Structure 1
């Protein structure tokens, strides 16, 4: 070791440990790393938002509930319900005139005590049965829901958003009119999501109009869902002859609201995988090139007593610096893109710092795993052969 130090001047030793060509090559690999880190952050954000939507409390319980259109069976609902409740796997039954996951009806034809002149109040309306709120485990903020009495046709149940927008205080018993039907408010239901999370909860009204009931909801279990569907299909065919029986689970209807976001998530996964693969190829090639360029340096350091761990760390630090630079460049780009994407949702996650930390750690781990083979191989090379080759 002493003889080697005597043979080489300080300048020569400095040149041995200054891999300028490798550093220049590393700079050219930065765009590949940026292209891999950016979709990686996007994938994490989109997945987190979709998980947030699935986990968020909707204000009602849609688990293991399916619905079907009654057609002529609507005239025999009481008999249909009685038979369904006898069937294995059927826990409860109720009815309405549309799907609770995605309301379709709305009106501006309304009036109430204290309404300001020349004001417009658009409200979504759904006809429900007396046991609808208990079926879906909905909570009442005040008052009561329908009892099924004839007088309920002149009663209304509004959500909290409607009461707030109307500016009503102590709404129970107040006059309310909708589509020419005059009545009074008997209850206020807590706000619930009846549309996509892209929309804020807006005013909604429940009313009781038996002639408009058209959709049956059936509560079942995961284990007995097939039995419940068979029972519902049998009841449907009994009153509808050869008409095909169609049904939809509310979970599926809910998921369909976010098909475009799910496709975007899949595309981000796809592009992230491709970008990471390409960046790994670049890192692998760069690691091989760096090991070749620094062969002489590695040999000298080993002769001077450097351990394999020390050499691997020395070679790896350049790659880690490369990835860190890519993260610094990719983070603001990804933040801007994901911040804009999240603005489409009225209910969304916060774009937290941990997303970028996790993406950065994954990028570092992937980079280290990619180049470790070449760096370890170079560090284990016999120093005599390394110096002799030079």
Structure 2
């Protein structure tokens, strides 16, 4: 893999750390700011909504900006947002800081995925994108647990200061390792929006919204579930978060080759497995022996869905994949916000700390239904099934997205 993908992975590490660390710090932030855990959970939603707004907005504004420069600008905004979170004097300003930090997230991964795909041969595109996403998974093994432990010992503000430093390191790696890409690879804004209106792209985005919401319905309250229901001490939360990251890494490693081989079957299988695992998680969380295993498996099947969904919208967007790719991260983080919100409603209604797992299972089933519907429609319309790859070139004959496979 090109060294530029390492720079993208380092950036993904920083983004993944700040995105997921708030879940482990919710009890600490709630205590410090004098609010409840479900209310503090809206800090997760604020970041996610920043992604939802920022992905299409910043991608549109930067449609004519060279991709390397765009990546640098987005990482700079990410660093400023985390610094603002670190110095926020109260809940409202922290909410705003989290929203600001989330704004560049989707656009960065949207542009980064296209850059990663264009630096490797066509048959290794999904693996290149998955390699960039490994930064997210490593963040959950190392970054999130370490940042959570730091926040628990020195205060949550220290966590966001350290993430700001990671942002600066990511800026340096992007400047040194990512090459300037040819200007002709940029699509016009009108062309990007036209590609985004493709029914298969829209169905892919809708699949991400519902399917991935199931993961965040649980993950947003994982720390509280493990301490309030399973009976683990607060000090073990960082280990449990690391286990989730290990599962994510296993899912990412499997997702690249599987997606390159058969996209839609990989997507169907991961969503179906996610629904089953979420139901099992509801019961496994009551056992100290089973809960850690369930955390690993949930991370694995949850992250297995990300690469096929990313490649699906990039393929179906044909010659203008950047906005569709960025919008996919809006969809993931709309799922983040929605999952956290619905999980909080279930807990607030008195259904129990593990009730978000059952809510998540229903959401995963809905996502699977949308994915299957999209596959059937694509199979019935052969003209739409031949995607154009992210390089802007027609897909070679014999390479499919797994429709009908």
TM-score, with length taken from structure 2: 0.25
More helix by share: 2
Q: Normalised by the size of structure 1, how large is the TM-score?
A: 0.26
Higher strand share: 1
Rg larger for: 1
